[in-house]
Structure 1
Amino acid sequence: MPSVIDEVKKIIGNYSSFTVVTEVGSDVDGYDVVGVIGTDRFILMNLHRLNSWEGPVLTVGFGLSFLNSVDITNLDKALTTIVDGNYDIEEILRLSVNIKGKKLPYAINEVAIFPSRSAMTLEYSLYVNNEYLWHDVADGLIISTPTGSTAYAMSAGGPLIHSRAQVIEIVPVNSTNLARVPVIVPSDSVIMIRDLISRSRVEAIIDGSIRTYVGSEVRIMSGKPLKLIRIGEISSAIGRYEKKISLLANMDLPPSAKFILKILEYEGQLTQKEIVEKTMLPSRTVRNALSILIRKGLIQRQVIIRGNKEVIVYSLKSAER
């Protein structure tokens, strides 16, 4: 978004100790703080690219969002605060994923294990610290961090977990056995998903964006924490819970509107065409659902720049500060 980049460059130009780059690489040695500015999805993508970075990260987004340190409108004030050293560091638990001896980028929200083709089930055996828990047949399995408990895991029936709790959440998705309920384990646990079988190839999906095929086994454990900069008295975690509670309170929505609300929560800003593609709902149904969500004040319609043209996108409406 050129206009945003120009505005950011203008603000950062007032501080000699900061540098602007438009593409994040793996070489960030020599910096004290790394900042990422964009939507939730953009921030996640670049945090994956910064997988080996162990220093503080400032995340700047649009509105009060799931991984934002600050809103972009407060960037100037935030930079002054950082220069003065008046900020806190929140260590966000991340998951290390090992498949066939290959380590993947850390998961900040969750690791989802699903067949690559929809409408198919998978079989698996679950072990925690080499202790057998169960064998199951389900649509899939989600291994979530506390941060991710407000996203995909919650939509599958998992509980809301405070972001600073040192635990990992295991959520079976549409199990054929009612006894297979979400399980919370200590963050130092080693989770093994073994004996994976499905009529379709099984894949692991990290934070909804990084996909890789798995064999018969996936090993998941805590990785190095993400050190997020937090500024001011308002915690983004509290804001996240407030937003989630607000969404859950609106149970009179039609199923299509609830579905779209969940997609926007997980994906961030999307055009109407992208919503149709991701939900596979008729265009007319999507238009009607978007109208309902806007009328109820749950989402917002914005015009942004993509490439060299303006596009209309929809996103969750920021919680009031």
Structure 2
Amino acid sequence: MSSLNFTTASHPPTFLLLGIPGLEKEQFWIAFPFCITYALGVLGNIILLIVIKTEPSLHEPMYLFLAMLACTDLVLPTSMLPKMLAIFWRGSKEIGFVACLVQLFFVHCFAILESGVLMAMALDRYFAICHPLRHSSILSTQVVAALGSLVLLRGVLMVSPTCFLLHRQDFCQHHVISHSYCEHMAVVKLVCEDTRVNAAYGIAVAFAVAAFDLTVITVSYTMIVREVLKLPSSDTQIKAFNTCVSHSCVILVFYVPALFTSLTHRFGHSIPQHVHILVGNLYMLVPPTLNPIIYGLRTKQLRDKIVLLIQWKGT
């Protein structure tokens, strides 16, 4: 009987998501730029996927990884924005316990997946510039698919324990989440039991992913810069650098707010809560919107194909 009591947790039927505490009156209007940003991101990523799928010349590792990034950028904001808009526009704050855990899983799993895809793209640029003759043999279609599967599996395996732990724990009578979506640490704060394991696991996952992926990215680009500087022609150097500038912009746009959000939960108690939540929302919306714009504008081959697609649709 004691074993049964240990495994039976007290779950609330629903949680209440506050949205952005401190900006309740402004939430209605804040929702409009959020919605426009999301719509632009969805449109841009769908266009990228259509162009890459329909153009055989783009079936290369760089563009296959970009297609993975576009798929991730479609799922990540979609997992939280519809409910956020319901809170801001309709005051529909309730979310079921299981629905909250599902949202939490998708938000964190696909954030880890995006980090993994950016790491894989850095490796692709390293092999393309530093080992161009072996690039196609090293990063074959099968290897690209395997890397994509591995980073997805990593996200699933890393995030699943957080949902499992929360499902087994008792929650207090206070069921109000001071956030606009079910973020891990925001939900953990409602647990009545000792949450040191939850907090330690969450920060360990965040630092493990960031440390590993950023190390691979940094080493890759350090080797790329060293190789590019050896090139005899300045035009060739500029072209090689330009292929990496877009990726570097995407990396900064993703990791800076991601690390800010993760660290603020643990250490940034002096930062106003609405600032923290706004940055968390923008972290989920801005990178998926900017990624197709940055790659579409800075990658000539992709830009030309998009222009052709638009002209063909217009005829």
TM-score, normalising length: structure 2:
0.22
Specify which structure has the higher proportion of helix. 2
TM-score, normalising length: structure 1:
0.21
